[in-house]
Amino acid sequence: MQISCEETGGAMVARVCEDRVDAAVALRFKERMREILQNPSERIVLDLSQVGFLDSSGLGAVVAVMKLAGPERRLELAGLTPTVQKVFRLTRMDQVFTIHPGVPQAGRGDGH
């Protein structure tokens, strides 16, 4: 499971470099994110802009990562493709996660 990480503006940005997060990769996704969560960042942004398909197993894996992060750290989502966004909307998980159109820039919203 290819997930790249970078520290940006006080947030750990984890970019999923796969086109699908489904039953075939959900376990590897959770394991890789568990490694990433070892970093002490208070804010984790999961960039899903390259993910074109996410099924219920993938959604469950994202929720599991949110639980792994714990209540003291926020897991935010960014760059949802229309298909992935629809999954979050239909399951009402868009009410649970903070979702950004793109990866938030350094300083949280200080213009370009």
The domain spanning residue 32 has which CATH number? 3.30.750.24
In a domain, 68, yes or no: yes
Global pTM value: 0.89
The total domain count for the chain is: 1
Question: What is the phi/psi pair of residue 14, to 5°?
Answer: -110, 110
**Cα-based distances in Å from 2 to 9, 59, 64, 73, 106:** 23, 17, 18, 23, 24
Question: What is the phi/psi pair of residue 13, to 5°?
Answer: -100, 120
Q: Which residue range(s) make up the domain with 14?
A: 3-100
In the block, residue with structure tokens 């003291």: 72
In a domain, 26, yes or no: yes
In a domain, 62, yes or no: yes
Q: Are 34 and 48 in contact (CB under 8 A)?
A: no
Provide the CA 40 distance to its chain's centre, in angstroms: 16
Query: pLDDT (tens digit, 9 = 90+) per residue, 17-70?
Result: 999 999 999 999 999 999 999 988 889 999 999 999 999 999 999 999 999 999
Round to whole Å and give the CA distance between 83 and 5.
24
